[in-house]
């Protein structure tokens, strides 16, 4: 299949959508991103790679970091993770407190904010230096030590993250946060602030397409069973309140972030990352979603 | 792969679980089903079939009929279906009214009761004789005209279906039910009362494994896009509040019913049906879930 | 105090508000009421009476009948009533299902629709002919046998009462409705359809100002304790989601209806009824609320 | 009426209840209070006073301070208070976040925690030294400068107040908290920590029985209209989820606290305070509620 041509076709076809959608301007540091940016990077297990657009430009991966956080903690403590966070879709806007209160402080899944905050709390317990270790984990997966946090973005997010603070406090009132509220929030915002390019993110994300094993270093980062669990959660909970729509239109497990990135993968075949900052009303990249839909349609690939 | 041996191994391994779980005894007619029943039927696209246990015994497919209802109406009116019912997971127990009220009478998806009730209402509008047509549709898919409704079960369910009645009335108050409340409830309960054996259900369900086209009659029942939509909904919403767990443990799109049946499929490969009446606390067949997990593990098959 | 002059002042002062607000046009039979109507009737325990406006014109008392329903059933079965309906404010719009589901089918109080529907169900159990008996009860309290139901209004309300039907069915699913759903709904809608004039309603309502004993017939309709309970519920739950506002602005226990009537009373002193069909956004008579506020301000009377 | 004898009768009659109920032990400093304590203090507008039990012992008034907070801020900024906090009952347990999220960060009333937290925030804006000023206000009302905060209780409450922190953060995310989260929480916990005896609290609370004017200093602390508003809120929202029950059993406006105190009053007649630390399941003093019920029954006094 001529992947390069397909990507180029897509780049043409999404032109009318470029600049549409809204920027996640509630985080001041993200508000100034150029809405016209677009990049798409495809990386196969055989190391062939295809790209169009701004694939080397760094963007804030935001919630996509939740997948790496889950993978890292699960590699340390295994299924014990699921004693404090559930694995089911939430059916609610991504930052709602209602369900959390109703369900006794146990978040619905690790990919909504409350769930990732509990994961952060676990990392504070089980990792020696979680801030450093998550970054090293992502760098290792991507094979690129230049990947870094953006402290400005982290601080910017921390300064306005009152709903996250509400959730951590609520969960702490239920006993499901063990560390200091501020420490959890600081670390969480730092995690969200990782900056990567489409190319870097595709490299890191490829470990999931390869069932948890590094393609180049052949290191077993997570077990096959852990991979399955993470993939199942991506499939059912990876796109805020649009998991069903994404499964239909794209048909790949993945995760999106409000920075406009979407990382997805076809097990045993490829990882693919698209980035475009304009978001649809559910908080997913408007162009990114369309581009991935076109890609799976044109290539006839999908998990279904 | 020696599928027959695998099924036989599974039949041995689930023995300790047989009789566990609870019967859906809120429907009096279902309360008297023998809890020790177990059947598992595998049907490949090449027509080879493998079976263990009570695969010829009829059981009440209950909510599994929702998949056929959706397929039938979508084949008539296409994507217009989704103007009155959403496609996202609910994150709630399967018969909750809260979300329905909060979201203005639009059910979260077609596989929760409220959603299937709206589908029933659409069928009353767009089909001439929906009761007959759904049955004929299922018979045709299964290639077996002996398949029938069980009126006793339908009446039994109707007589105690106050929560369903509450939902239909609530949706009617929002204008999302167009027909008479009683007519919708009657027809819905009839649909749920279809009785099939594992073998029949696997035959009917195979149309989804074949992307919407009949394997034997090669008739295009639904388009590829419609197939994708239905499969995406199965994947994210097919197992009440256990979609994430099922995706992890089994990794196949499917649908379960409180009669103890689970129908699932691997696209392009096979359909598989398991039946065992004891339910876990989420309302899915306890033994069925385990048997399918063993099957995908032993065969190494899964959409992931 | 010159009550007549005070009423006449009020009649002048509310002129700018006449015609404001919205009619409860979801009940077709009520939609054609003249929005400019206004009547106010004051009846003291010493039998002196004062009036302005359309005080002899019949209007649909609607939810005000809930007070009589509660008084009648409590006179039959006493505090047992409160085993199936609570006595606390709801904090929700008057017809919400959420709380009802959350609290296991037990309505918050007898003055929201769900609560009155349970009261209706109790009346079906404990009264021989509840339809006749409630009417006779109201006639007796008012000393006027001409008071009647309006079957057209009852049917009109029945025909569009899907939310009420949803509530009855939901409560029946919890076991808190013992009779046939249709029977409960029919009777409830009939109860709401009582038509009375301001003068008649003030006569009937005066029994509460007299602590449960008829002023003329000196019959003890309810005990002093039962009177206290009913009054407490009027005070905290009598005005949909505006109980606090009414307590502040008017300071009298009472009950309003979507027909535009408000009945209120000062214990040991008087009953007072005002009617004007335009409703504010909480469903209470806009002019009626203002007129009562002016009355208690000018007379310096209030329970506080 | 022989009030002293009545109080002594009550003291006898509640003996079987002494020691029943639970202590608010989630605040460690309160956990060690002697459960057998009981005091009741009646203070008439004519300055006659009657008492039984431990009426000079200091206890933590906790939520009763919310009445003084409201009175103080309303005396400064008037009805503007109600732009940021509603005046209706909540119908929910006293610290629920659901309603707060649903209603856009506007608390239901000033007597639930969220409402009092917003009041605290207003005090930070409009008072120069709110901590000092509230204390001075209470001292002045009580005519006793020895009244003080208990910093240990305040710190104790602060250290475990994660649910309050969740609420402040949630409201801040909606823009309804203007000051620093920590500052609001610190001040709020300080306010709750006021310690008073039954005698002192009855003196302070008597200003409400006197319609907002000091009985001895004849100072107009709040206007008559402001008094009415506060009284209406006490009546409908003063007893957590037991306002209706309290209105029935006692029939007086008032406010309770988890320290086991209840302050109530009969307008134009008296203030009355009872203290006993054992709480019923709704969080109100079990003995206190009974003692007040006996008092209004025996004296035949009530607002109804």
- pLDDT at residue A182 above 60? yes
Q: Which of C96, C102, C173 lies nearest to residue B166, judging by beta carbons?
A: C173
Q: Which residue of A has its CA nearest to B230?
A: A248
- pTM to 2 decimal places: 0.93
The answer to whether residue A179 neighbours chain D at the CB level (below 8 Å) is no
Could you tell me how many CB contacts below 8 A there are between chain C and chain D? 100
Domains and CATH numbers, chain A: 3-299 (3.40.710.10)
Q: Looking at A106-239, list the stretches that DSSP marks H as alpha helix, in order from N- to C-terminal side.
A: 113-126, 130-142, 151-160, 162-173, 181-192, 198-209, 224-237
Q: Looking at B54-211, list the stretches that DSSP marks H as alpha helix, in order from N- to C-terminal side.
A: 65-77, 98-102, 113-126, 130-142, 151-160, 162-173, 181-192, 198-209
What's the CA gap between A297 and D207, in Å, rounded?
75
How are beta strands A254-256 and A261-266 bridged, if at all? antiparallel
- The pLDDT value given to residue C269: 97
- pLDDT at residue A30 above 90? no
Cα B46 to Cα B39, B201, B270, B276, C150, distances in angstroms: 21, 17, 9, 26, 70
Calculate mean pLDDT across residues A228-255.
94
Q: Which residue of B has its CA nearest to A297?
A: B225
What's the CA gap between B114 and B211, in Å, rounded?
26
Tens digit of pLDDT for each residue in B217-232?
Answer: 999 999 999 999 999 9
- Percent residues over pLDDT 90 in chain B: 91
How much helix, strand and coil, in percent to the nearest 5, is found in chain A? Answer: 50, 10, 35
Q: Which of D88, D233, D248 lies nearest to residue C87, judging by beta carbons?
A: D248
End-to-end distance of chain C based on CA atoms, in angstroms?
A: 19
Is A97 within 8 Å of A232 (Cβ atoms)? no
- pLDDT at residue B138 above 80? yes
If phi over 0 gives left and psi between -120 and 50 gives alpha, with beta otherwise, what is residue A143?
left
Residue A1 or residue B166, greater confidence: B166
Distance from CA of A301 to the nearest CA of B (A): 12
Most B CBs within 10 Å: which of C97, C104, C180, as the mutation test of the B interface? C97
Tens digit of pLDDT for each residue in C227-237?
Answer: 999 999 999 99
Tens digit of pLDDT for each residue in B233-261?
Answer: 999 999 988 999 999 999 999 999 999 99
A109 chain-B contacts, CB cut-off 8 A: 244
Most C CBs within 10 Å: which of B99, B157, B173, B184, as the mutation test of the C interface? B173
Most B CBs within 10 Å: which of A228, A229, A240, as the mutation test of the B interface? A228
What's the CA gap between D154 and D30, in Å, rounded?
11
D243 chain-C contacts, CB cut-off 8 A: 88-89, 236
- The pLDDT value given to residue D97: 83
D179 chain-A contacts, CB cut-off 8 A: none
The answer to whether residue D244 neighbours chain C at the CB level (below 8 Å) is yes
Residues ≥6 apart with Cβ < 8 Å to D71: D137, D207, D221, D222, D226, D230
A22 band by pLDDT with thresholds 50, 70 and 90: very high
The answer to whether residue B243 neighbours chain A at the CB level (below 8 Å) is yes
Distance from CA of A280 to the nearest CA of B (A): 16
C101 band by pLDDT with thresholds 50, 70 and 90: confident
- The pLDDT value given to residue A93: 63
- The pLDDT value given to residue B93: 63
DSSP count for chain B of H helices, then E strands: 13, 8
C303 chain-D contacts, CB cut-off 8 A: 267, 303-304
ipTM for the complex shown: 0.91
Distance from CA of B151 to the nearest CA of A (A): 34
* H or E element that contains D270: strand D270-275
- pLDDT at residue D56 above 80? yes
Is C254 within 8 Å of C265 (Cβ atoms)? yes
If phi over 0 gives left and psi between -120 and 50 gives alpha, with beta otherwise, what is residue D62?
left
What's the CA gap between C8 and C3, in Å, rounded?
9
Q: Which of B87-96, B261-270, C118-127 has the lowest mean pLDDT?
A: B87-96
The answer to whether D244 contacts C99, with C-beta atoms less than 8 Å apart, is no
Residue D151's CB is within 10 A of a number of other CB atoms, namely: 13
Phi, psi of A149 (to 5 degrees): -75, 155
Most A CBs within 10 Å: which of B207, B235, B264, as the mutation test of the A interface? B235
Tens digit of pLDDT for each residue in D159-199?
Answer: 999 999 999 999 999 999 999 999 999 999 999 999 999 99
The answer to whether C89 contacts D87, with C-beta atoms less than 8 Å apart, is no
B98 chain-C contacts, CB cut-off 8 A: 97-98, 101-102
* H or E element that contains D42: strand D39-44
- The pLDDT value given to residue D87: 94
Tens digit of pLDDT for each residue in D220-273?
Answer: 999 999 999 999 999 999 998 899 999 999 999 999 999 999 999 999 999 999
Q: Which of D96, D101, D169 lies nearest to residue A169, judging by beta carbons?
A: D169
The answer to whether A163 contacts D170, with C-beta atoms less than 8 Å apart, is yes
If phi over 0 gives left and psi between -120 and 50 gives alpha, with beta otherwise, what is residue B122?
alpha
A109 band by pLDDT with thresholds 50, 70 and 90: very high
What's the CA gap between A13 and A76, in Å, rounded?
43
What's the CA gap between B201 and B261, in Å, rounded?
9
Chains sharing 3 or more CB pairs under 8 A with chain D: A, C
- Percent residues over pLDDT 70 in chain D: 99
What's the CA gap between A40 and A291, in Å, rounded?
8
Tens digit of pLDDT for each residue in C24-78?
Answer: 888 888 888 999 999 999 999 999 999 999 999 999 999 999 999 999 999 999 9
Most A CBs within 10 Å: which of D160, D161, D167, D173, as the mutation test of the A interface? D173
The answer to whether C163 contacts B173, with C-beta atoms less than 8 Å apart, is yes
The answer to whether B173 contacts C166, with C-beta atoms less than 8 Å apart, is yes
- Give me the count of residues in chain D: 304
Q: Which of D101, D163, D168 lies nearest to residue A173, judging by beta carbons?
A: D163
The answer to whether B169 contacts C169, with C-beta atoms less than 8 Å apart, is yes
- pLDDT at residue C97 above 90? no
Distance from CA of D38 to the nearest CA of C (A): 27
Among C106, C264, C80, which Cα is nearest to C175's?
A: C106
Write down the mean pLDDT value for chain B.
Answer: 95
Calculate mean pLDDT across residues D42-69.
98
Q: Which residue of A has its CA nearest to B302?
A: A303
B173 band by pLDDT with thresholds 50, 70 and 90: very high
- The pLDDT value given to residue A95: 58
Q: Which of D99, D236, D302 lies nearest to residue C236, judging by beta carbons?
A: D236
| In chain D, residues 51-110 whose CB comes closer than 8 Å to chain A | 96-98, 101-102
The answer to whether A163 contacts D169, with C-beta atoms less than 8 Å apart, is yes
- The pLDDT value given to residue C49: 98
- The pLDDT value given to residue C95: 58
- The pLDDT value given to residue B95: 59
The answer to whether A170 contacts D97, with C-beta atoms less than 8 Å apart, is yes
The answer to whether D167 contacts A166, with C-beta atoms less than 8 Å apart, is yes
Is C164 within 8 Å of C185 (Cβ atoms)? yes
Q: Which residue of B has its CA nearest to C105?
A: B163
What's the CA gap between A49 and D116, in Å, rounded?
59
Longest dimension (CA), chain B: 55
Tens digit of pLDDT for each residue in D72-128?
Answer: 999 999 999 999 999 999 877 645 787 888 889 999 999 999 999 999 999 999 999
**Burial bucket for residue B220 (CB in 10 Å: 0-12, 13-18, 19+):** middle
Among C183, C138, C121, C131, which Cα is nearest to C158's?
A: C183
Tens digit of pLDDT for each residue in C159-177?
Answer: 999 999 999 999 999 999 9
Tens digit of pLDDT for each residue in A118-164?
Answer: 999 999 999 999 999 999 999 999 999 999 999 999 999 999 999 99
Calculate mean pLDDT across residues B11-19.
97
- pLDDT at residue C243 above 90? yes
């Amino acid at each position: 299949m001529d992947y390069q041509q397909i990507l180029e076709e897509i780049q043409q076809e999404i032109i009318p959508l470029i600049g549409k959608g809204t920027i996640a301007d509630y985080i001041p540091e993200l508000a100034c991103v150029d809405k016209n940016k677009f990049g798409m990077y495809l990386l196969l297990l055989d190391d062939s790679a295809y790209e169009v657009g701004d694939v080397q430009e760094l963007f804030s991966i935001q919630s996509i970091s939740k997948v790496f956080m889950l993978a890292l903690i699960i590699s340390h403590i295994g299924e014990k993770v699921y004693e404090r966070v559930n694995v089911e879709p939430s059916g609610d806007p991504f930052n709602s407190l209602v369900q959390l209160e109703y369900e006794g402080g146990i978040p619905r899944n690790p990919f909504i904010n409350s769930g990732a905050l509990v994961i952060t709390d676990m990392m504070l317990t089980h990792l020696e230096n979680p801030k450093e270790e998550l970054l090293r984990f992502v760098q290792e997966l991507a094979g690129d030590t230049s990947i870094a946090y953006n402290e400005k973005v982290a601080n910017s997010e921390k300064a306005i993250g009152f709903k996250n603070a509400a959730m951590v406090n609520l969960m702490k009132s239920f006993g499901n946060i063990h560390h200091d509220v501020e420490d959890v929030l600081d670390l969480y915002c730092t995690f969200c602030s990782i900056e990567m390019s489409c190319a870097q993110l595709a490299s890191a994300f490829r470990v999931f397409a390869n069932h948890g094993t590094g393609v180049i270093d052949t290191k077993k980062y997570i077990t096959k069973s852990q991979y399955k669990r993470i993939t199942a959660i991506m499939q059912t909970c990876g796109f805020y309140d649009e998991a069903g729509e994404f499964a239909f239109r794209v048909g790949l497990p993945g995760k999106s972030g409000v920075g406009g990135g979407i990382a997805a993968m076809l097990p045993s075949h490829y990882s693919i990352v698209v980035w475009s900052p304009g978001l649809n009303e559910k908080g997913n990249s408007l162009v990114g979603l369309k581009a991935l839909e076109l890609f799976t349609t044109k290539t006839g690939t999908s998990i279904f």
